[in-house]
Amino acid sequence: MSPGAIEVCRRRGVRDVRLLPLAAVGADLGVFDTVLMMCGNFGLPGSAGEAAAILRRLHALTSENGRIVLDSVDPYVDVDDADIAYQDRNRARGRMPGQVTIRIRYGERATPWHDLLLVSAAELEGLAAGAGWRLGQVFEGEPPDYYGVLVNV
């Protein structure tokens, strides 16, 4: 959530722009045709279960022609031995291989640790199928990045 983005929207003429968490978005706002989850936002739920719950929630808030445009990082591209060991530890703990625990650091400042979910296109397709979505298109970015479009089933 970015107050700066809200300000840009207002300056560009958007009459009804709000800064609120996804959990606060309800049917009272109307039905959406497109949801953007760019810059890693799809991974913010942190786990497969939470991602599936978000996809189900978005399914309930979108039109019959609804779509989600997102990007992710394929956790199986450009990996080394340390990445493979991390993925193996995740599997052993019942986590998705691409579920990483990160924090952002700038100088002396650092965010709390949090989980970020990185999924391959095939894993995205599986998560989506159980939540009323179908993976309609995949566009390759600079590896390991890719872009996907989920469409309402």
Q: pLDDT digit string (tens) for 55-64?
A: 999 999 999 9
22, part of any domain: no
Q: Is the confidence at residue 4, as pLDDT, over 90?
A: no
111, part of any domain: no
Residue 95 backbone class (left: φ over 0; alpha: ψ -120 to 50; beta: rest): beta
Q: Are 56 and 131 in contact (CB under 8 A)?
A: yes
16, part of any domain: no
Beta bridge partners of 139: 147
| Pick from 55, 32, 60, 35: nearest CA to 45 | 55
107, part of any domain: no
Q: Is the confidence at residue 1, as pLDDT, over 60?
A: no
| Pick from 69, 64, 61, 50: nearest CA to 127 | 50
Residue 138 structural domain: 31-77+120-152
pLDDT in tens, 93-130: 999 999 999 999 999 999 999 999 999 999 999 999 99
112, part of any domain: no
103, part of any domain: no
Q: Higher confidence at residue 58 or residue 27? A: 58
Prior bond to 144 cis, omega within 30?
yes
Model confidence at 23, in pLDDT bands (50, 70, 90)?
A: confident
Domain count, the chain: 1
Domain containing residue 67: CATH number: 3.40.50.150
The per-residue pLDDT of the chain, averaged, comes to: 94
- Over range 55-81, report the average pLDDT: 96
| Pick from 89, 42, 36: nearest CA to 67 | 36
User: Global pTM?
Assistant: 0.87
CA–CA distance, 83 with 89 (Å, rounded to integer): 10
37, part of any domain: yes
Percentage of the chain modeled with pLDDT above 90: 84
4, part of any domain: no
